[in-house]
A and B are shown apart, each in its own frame.
Chain A
Amino acid sequence: MSDAFLELQQVTVRLPISGELRTVLHDVSFRIAPGEAVGLVGESGSGKSMTARAVARLLPPGAESSGTVLFAGNDVAALKGAALRAFRAEVAVVFQDPRAHINPVRTIGDFMTEALRTNHDVSRADAAAKAVSLLAEVGIADGQRRLEQHPHELSGGLLQRVMIATALLTEPKLLLADEPTTALDVTTQSDVMAILDELRRERGMSMLFITHDLELAGAVCDRTAVMYAGQLVEERTSSALHDDPLHPYTAGLVGARPRIDGDVVRLSAIPGRPRSAFEAPAGCAFNDRCVHVVDDCVASRPALEPLDGGSVRCHRAVELRGRLQEGAAHG
């Protein structure tokens, strides 16, 4: 894929955690093509948000990173001044918790139009008009009135729509959506998701879609990457990933979905608790929770190898191919 629009090459991030630098992202590489949506799935603490923050140059203070992030062929780390501003306009972020991510003491109008007015010299009236029309697109009819309101006067679902509309205002080419619906209640979740998906397709934007939910990622993304302990363990087209997982962890995730086909709703087929990168054991990061573990898995860390049109990080991937789905379904 030479037409990569966003490309991460061996991105490693270390953060100061309780006094020492610890690895939270290890050797993360993937690409997103123009107009493509890629899902990033993993348990809490696996480093999904950190990946998005590495892309958007939003790493916490004190972070150390290596590897390269290329956006439209440019090294993101090297951007400065006008180029950085242009990058910020082209890459928009939709955060998980709109209530925390919108300044509570400023009006919705201020929030929405701030970037346009400071960086793009759009007049107040024009910016407001544009905001109102985008609010209409995300299903908020009385936009003019909303612009005068403060965040606490809006429900979580409305706020997330505002956040999405705001992200679209600068006509970005890439959307980083970090669990955009997790903070919402179930019924609003699907509405907001539908809006996001539709607007993205209309505009032909690329998207990195972060979620806990493999199913949801499959529904809106062309390809899905699975993250475990700060590493990508598998990355393939969404349907292949779902029907025929190559990594034992992915298989576990597929099995971990609440299953409503039987009489009981069964959760987690993966023993043990989620890990951050710096807590992972030597060798394969998943070796202490994997049911297929062999000596090799403890001895050396597997690389992310191409297989079946995607890639997987497992010593036994070839050997286990085709047998994992069954194991997950019956195990």
Chain B
Amino acid sequence: MLKFVVRRLMMLVVTLFVASFAIYSAMYLAPGNPIAALLGGRTPTPEAIAVLEERYHLNDPFIVRYLRWVGGALRGDFGVSIQLRQEVSTLISQRIGTTVQLVLYASLIIVVVGVALGIVGGLRKGVLDNVVIVATTVSAAVPSFVASIILLSVFAVNLGWFPALGTGEGFVDQLRHLTLPAVALAFSSIALVARITRSAVREELSREHVQTAVSRGIPYRTVVRRHVMRNAAIPITTVVGITVASLFAASAVVERAFSLNGIGAYLIQAALSKDIAVVQGISLVIVAIFVVVNAIVDFLYAVLDPRVSLGASAA
């Protein structure tokens, strides 16, 4: 088990380093002159240029600049936004709360609704199962931005039950503001989780060991809980984990649609205005979250499935 954890952690660190290098060097290719952006249209004096080049280390070789950037990133320093002249880390930390809340809210919806639908479809054959299949087929095909628009149109504009845009103040108000975005973000992932849950439940139900439990007189509900659900939890955890990991990137779309002030929407804004340091910083944060959550999923998998840890430590 320990060996497995160590190996997985090493993989994680290597992936992050390579990814950070890819992000930094890709941005390095970006056209445009940072000095011009800094000066914002004023005519530069040679001295001013020299000062700026000095301040932003624009004359150092690429590799030195990369290492400085990664070193900073490790300490939580992502440089300075050329547009806003503020620390990127400050700009991120002002906004990441909204994104985290949104993602957690959406994850909760995905887990509760998706797993519940999947269990119903898996255990009940016939009408209920068909309803689940049709519902998930449709919801799987609804992109988050289309879901956003529909929810906005129905629940915010026509019915007026929820506010249309913005983040809100205070917990309850924030919850109200985040409800529609969270549903929009969750919508198609619910289908994925429900599908996987359903087929996992089906598969486990048909397993021989379930037959054994029944043959020994264990009540059906107990068999379902202790054997079917316990074993189906392994694929369900995996798909939920991967889905949640991807929500941090996907939330950009929803944040945009609902004018939420999260890191996703800010990343888009920065990309449109070519605010390189911000794009680099947020991209790295999102990739890091993605990789870390995936690693956590792997650990959970090993915890849930005793066969995995042995395989890894024996190797």
- A–B touching in complex (CB under 8 Å): yes
- Which residues of chain A have a CB within 8 Å of any CB of chain B? 56, 58, 84-85, 87-89, 92-93, 95, 97, 100-106, 114-115, 118-119, 150, 152-153, 170
Pick the contact of B212: A87, A101, A105, A150 (CB < 8 A).
Answer: A101
**In the complex, B53 has a CB within 8 A of chain A:** no
- Which residues of chain B have a CB within 8 Å of any CB of chain A? 207-209, 211-219, 222, 226-227, 230-231, 234, 304-307, 310
Write out the residue numbers on chain A whose beta carbons fall within 8 Å of the beta carbon of B211: 58, 95, 101
Residue of A nearest to B219 (CB): A118
Given contacts A95-B208, A100-B207, contact A105 B217 (CB under 8 A): no
Given contacts A56-B215, A93-B215, A115-B217, contact A152 B310 (CB under 8 A): yes
Write out the residue numbers on chain A whose beta carbons fall within 8 Å of the beta carbon of B213: 103, 114
The CA of A106 and the CA of B207, in the complex, are separated in Å by 14
Write out the residue numbers on chain A whose beta carbons fall within 8 Å of the beta carbon of B207: 100
B227–A103 touching, CB < 8 Å: yes
Pick the contact of B215: A58, A103, A105, A118 (CB < 8 A).
Answer: A58
Write out the residue numbers on chain A whose beta carbons fall within 8 Å of the beta carbon of B231: 103-105
Write out the residue numbers on chain B whose beta carbons fall within 8 Å of the beta carbon of A92: 215-216
| Nearest CB in chain B: distance from A88 CB, A | 3
Given contacts A104-B209, A106-B230, contact A88 B217 (CB under 8 A): yes
B209–A152 touching, CB < 8 Å: no
Pick the contact of A119: B218, B234, B305 (CB < 8 A).
Answer: B218
The CA of A84 and the CA of B216, in the complex, are separated in Å by 10
A152–B219 touching, CB < 8 Å: no
Given contacts A105-B231, A105-B306, contact A100 B209 (CB under 8 A): yes
Write out the residue numbers on chain B whose beta carbons fall within 8 Å of the beta carbon of A93: 212, 215
Interface of B is mostly: helix
Write out the residue numbers on chain B whose beta carbons fall within 8 Å of the beta carbon of A100: 207-209
| Nearest CB in chain B: distance from A80 CB, A | 12
Write out the residue numbers on chain B whose beta carbons fall within 8 Å of the beta carbon of A152: 306-307, 310
Given contacts A87-B217, A103-B231, 7 further A-B contacts (CB under 8 A): A58-B211, A101-B208, A101-B212, A103-B213, A103-B227, A104-B209, A115-B217
Pick the contact of A88: B216, B227, B305 (CB < 8 A).
Answer: B216
A97–B208 touching, CB < 8 Å: yes
Given contacts A103-B227, A152-B310, A153-B310, contact A114 B215 (CB under 8 A): no
The CA of A132 and the CA of B208, in the complex, are separated in Å by 25
A118–B222 touching, CB < 8 Å: yes
The CA of A46 and the CA of B214, in the complex, are separated in Å by 24
Write out the residue numbers on chain A whose beta carbons fall within 8 Å of the beta carbon of B226: 106, 114
| Nearest CB in chain B: distance from A87 CB, A | 8
The CA of A103 and the CA of B226, in the complex, are separated in Å by 10
Interface centre among A89, A95, A103 (most CB of B within 10 A): A103
Interface centre among B207, B212, B234, B306 (most CB of A within 10 A): B212
A114–B218 touching, CB < 8 Å: yes
The CA of A132 and the CA of B230, in the complex, are separated in Å by 25
Write out the residue numbers on chain A whose beta carbons fall within 8 Å of the beta carbon of B212: 93, 95, 101-103
A104–B307 touching, CB < 8 Å: yes
The CA of A87 and the CA of B219, in the complex, are separated in Å by 13
| Nearest CB in chain B: distance from A301 CB, A | 32
The CA of A112 and the CA of B84, in the complex, are separated in Å by 66
Residue of B nearest to A120 (CB): B217
Write out the residue numbers on chain B whose beta carbons fall within 8 Å of the beta carbon of A97: 208
Write out the residue numbers on chain A whose beta carbons fall within 8 Å of the beta carbon of B230: 103, 105-106
Residue of A nearest to B310 (CB): A152
Write out the residue numbers on chain B whose beta carbons fall within 8 Å of the beta carbon of A89: 217
Residue of A nearest to B218 (CB): A118
Write out the residue numbers on chain A whose beta carbons fall within 8 Å of the beta carbon of B304: 105
The CA of A118 and the CA of B223, in the complex, are separated in Å by 11
Interface centre among B209, B214, B306, B307 (most CB of A within 10 A): B209
| Nearest CB in chain B: distance from A323 CB, A | 43
Write out the residue numbers on chain B whose beta carbons fall within 8 Å of the beta carbon of A170: 216
Write out the residue numbers on chain B whose beta carbons fall within 8 Å of the beta carbon of A118: 218-219, 222
The CA of A106 and the CA of B231, in the complex, are separated in Å by 9
Given contacts A97-B208, A100-B209, A105-B305, contact A58 B214 (CB under 8 A): yes
Residue of A nearest to B304 (CB): A105
